[in-house]
Amino acid sequence: MNFDKASNFIWRHGRLLERRIFECIFQGGSKNNILTALKAYQNEDGGFGNAIEPDLRAPNSHPLFMEFALRVLYDCNIKDKELSQKAYVYISNHADLKKGIPAIFTSSANYPRAEHWNNPVSTEPSINRLSGLIGLLKWQGVENSWLDKAVEICLQDISSNTYHDAHTILTAFCLLESLPQTDEILRLFMKLSKELFNADFFRLDVAPQNYGLSPLEFAPSPTSYCRSIFSDDTILDHLKVLESQQYDDGGWQIEWEPPGETAILEWRAYKTLKSIMILNSYNKINL
């Protein structure tokens, strides 16, 4: 793996957000600069928009964008009261505690978007989509009675339903991590761990041919909440494959079709950043 080529790819094609994250992690930059870049995507309603998730080019707020933004904070170990309180207002205004929250709203059809967001299921509310958002808010330290009720509802959903999609399992783990590790939470952790290995879009194979989430998505560092799910050999094998997937231009490729050339480069820069962050966390980069 060529770190210099990877960093050059991020400087050439990454957004300000990715460049600020790179600066912070690898060059001693400030977390405040990440926050400043992230808040530029936050709208007056407290939600996030402006294509922060590059597959949807909409300026207005969508839950998909909210999850992307809050996960950036999670990945960078940043907690910010102002941003998270605004995020809470947005989520509580749009979530139905009986039905959940959709990934995107129907207004997204007015803007360019990747083909997979044309699936009508994307605009249907779900509790498992809400679970990840609630978990990320809890991780930020938001506390109030509405959020407590939402946590209870989401935990009941995890307990009573089988999760079949690796994406929803990933966000459900985030909720569990945000809570005290009681016997009940540990029971749900084991339940989701078992469901993950049979889930759609989970790629345990070290050389998958199709898009999916690898064990490194769930355990991006040795101290990750989900690290215990996977053997040392599994993690090592996936790290070797991740290193080998760097292209000659310094970046990592993606396995889906974004809505345009700009989105392709944005995603590639983001994936390149995430890849070197993972490799660095496992001491695979000599800086």
**How is the chain split into domains, by residue range?**
41-202
Q: Could you tell me the pTM of the whole model?
A: 0.94
The Cα–Cα gap between 254 and 230 comes to 24
Whether the CA torsion 88, 118, 128, 189 is positive or negative: it is negative
Task: Say if CB 35 and CB 83 are below 8 A apart.
Answer: yes
The amino acid present at 230, given as its one-letter code, is: F
Q: What is the DSSP letter of 253?
A: P
Task: Say if CB 100 and CB 125 are below 8 A apart.
Answer: yes
Q: What is the pLDDT of residues 60-89, one digit of tens each?
A: 999 999 999 999 999 999 999 999 999 999
Q: What is the pLDDT of residues 201-231, one digit of tens each?
A: 999 988 767 789 999 999 999 999 999 999 9
The pLDDT value given to residue 21: 98
Q: Look at residues 174, 282, 277 and name the one whose alpha carbon lies nearest to residue 232.
A: 282
